[in-house]
Amino acid sequence: MNNTPGFLARNEFLLRRLHSLSGLIPVGAYMCVHLAVNSSVSFSPNTFQRLVFHIHAIGVALPAIEWAFIFLPIIFHAVYGLVIMKDSSQNVGDYSTSSNWRYTLQRASGMIAFLFIGWHVFHMHGWFHADFWLEIAHSFGGAQFSPYNATSSGASAMQMHWVVPVLYGIGMTACVFHLANGIFTMGITWGLWLTPKAQNCAKYFSIMVFIPLFVMGMLPIIKLSYCIDINGENDNEEKVKSVLIAEEDNAYELLEQTGDVPESGHKHSEGSRYYKHDVEEEE
């Protein structure tokens, strides 16, 4: 009988620290930037579009950056988190303390966050950028976001059904709580909060992180779902959408002429005057 511990058991110390670190950098840091960019649409759709243009000006290197610094760290954090959950036990029924509740909610929010992120990426981007796959994803309600028509396509995606903003609200809250509470648990893992006083201060710091991130996360959900009449039933619907798309196209035209934004048929909405032109050039 072989009693040699497996890879996970032999490297548990290192893996747990990489797991906690990946939750903060790069995943947590990216989430903060992502929420900040998205929240800008609540104050100025033009600013939001400009920020999205800056991101996509990276060009062909963007998918590689996304996979290296966002998707792979998220997958590692989620998969090893499941390993940790498998070996843990919930005891809030026996010991209903705040620490046990945070322990349980951290794992529950992690599960919700992982499912939400997978659906969110599919809903907005379709997971992969291959033409054949994007057509399939679109037929199932995915790949709804067009970066070069960010506000108009984002509003259309959020207004597909009343349940969409509800799911975004739940998922975003889970993500923000998981990060904020994860800062506290990371300090425990790394031995940063050693005294009761330090741990108490860390709890308040986690709350201070949660509140602004929660607000930043809710603002674009409310704005895109309820404050832009894209899929409404009044006579102003088509006018609102066409004006938004025209403004987005004008901004794209200027940056495309200066070479700051690369052409891409995938990044325009069908209502854009550049949508068919880009597709024809690719063909």
- Is 7 within the bounds of a domain? no
Half-sphere exposure of 134 (CA within 13 A, CB side): 13
* 150 has a pLDDT exceeding 90: yes
Question: From the centroid of its chain, how far is CA 59?
Answer: 20
- Is 260 within the bounds of a domain? yes
- Is 266 within the bounds of a domain? yes
- Is 2 within the bounds of a domain? no
Helix (H) or strand (E) run with residue 219 in it: helix 196-226
Least confident of 41-50, 62-71, 87-96, 245-254: 87-96
Residue type, 225: S
Condensed to tens digits (0 to 9), the pLDDT of residues 221-277 reads: 999 999 888 766 555 555 678 888 988 999 898 888 888 888 877 789 888 888 864
Mean pLDDT of 144-154: 93
Distance CA 39, CA 86 (A): 36
Residue type, 222: I
- Is 3 within the bounds of a domain? no
- Is 6 within the bounds of a domain? no
Higher pLDDT, 99 or 216: 216
- Is 4 within the bounds of a domain? no
Q: Which domain holds residue 263?
A: 12-282
Q: In CATH, what number is assigned to the domain containing residue 47? A: 1.20.1300.10
Condensed to tens digits (0 to 9), the pLDDT of residues 17-61 reads: 888 888 888 999 999 999 999 999 999 999 999 999 999 888 888
Residue with tokens 């893996």: 15
Number of domains in the chain: 1
* 13 has a pLDDT exceeding 90: no
Give the angle 143-146-152 at the CA atoms, nearest 5°: 115
Mean pLDDT of 150-156: 94
Record the tokens describing residue 196, joined without a space. Answer: 């009761």
- Is 5 within the bounds of a domain? no
